[in-house]
Amino acid sequence: MRRLVSELYVRDNCHPFKATVLIWIQLPMWIFMSIALRNLSTGATHSEGFSVQEQLATGGVLWFPDLTALDSTWILPVSVGVVNLLIVEIFALQRHGMSRFQMYITYFVRAVSVLMIPIAATVPSSIALYWFCSSLMGLAQNLLLRSPRFRQLCRIPSTKSDSDTPYKDLFAAFYAKFILRK
C-alpha cells in the first residue's frame, strides 16, 4: 500500500507536504506582522523624527480614527470573526461525508473564529484591521479559485468535484443548511 501511495505521489506530483507548505509560511508571517503592528502601535519601536505611533494615532478612517486604540464599537473584531467563520463555512459546505476527525477540526476552527472576536477587541485597531484585511483576502481567494473562468485563465486543471456553477451551488448549500433548517 505504501509503495502504491508513493507511486501516486510521484505520478500526480501531489505530496501532502505541498498542501501544508503555505501554512508553514503564512502562519509565521501572520504572527510576526501582528507582533510588529503591536510594537508600532504601542511605541515599543524607536525612530527619529515623527514617530510611527503618532502617525498610527492619526492615520485611521471611518469609526477608528486612532489605529493605536481599541475599536470601542467592536465593528472590526466582529468583522474578523464573521469573515473567518464564513471561510470555514464555505469550506464545510463543499465537503460531504467528512470523517469524524475532519468534523472535529471544522468545529475547532469554528470555535477559534468565534474566539477571535474578543481577542480582536483587546488589540489595537491596527492589528484588528490587519487581521480583517488578511481574512478578507483569504475569503476573496477562496471564492475566486472556485470560478471556472479564473481556473481556466490560470491553467488550473479541473477536477471531478469542480462545478460549472460553483457560486449557485454554494448559495444553494448555504440556503439549505442555514435558511431552510428548522
Rounded Cα–Cα distance for residues 172 and 146 (Å): 15
Q: What is the pLDDT of residue 52?
A: 65
Q: What is the pLDDT of residue 135?
A: 92
Rounded Cα–Cα distance for residues 69 and 38 (Å): 11
Q: Do 77 and 117 touch, CB atoms closer than 8 A?
A: yes
What's the pTM?
0.74
49 C-beta neighbours (distance < 10 Å), count: 6
- Report which of residues 41 and 74 the model is more confident about: 74
- Write down the residue that cell numbers 478578507 correspond to: 136
Cell numbers at 147, concatenated: 470560478
Q: What is the pLDDT of residue 60?
A: 64
Q: What is the mean pLDDT of residues 113-126?
A: 91
Q: For residue range 68-89, what is the model confidence (pLDDT) as tens digits?
A: 778 888 889 999 999 999 999 8
Tell me: pLDDT of 182 over 60: no
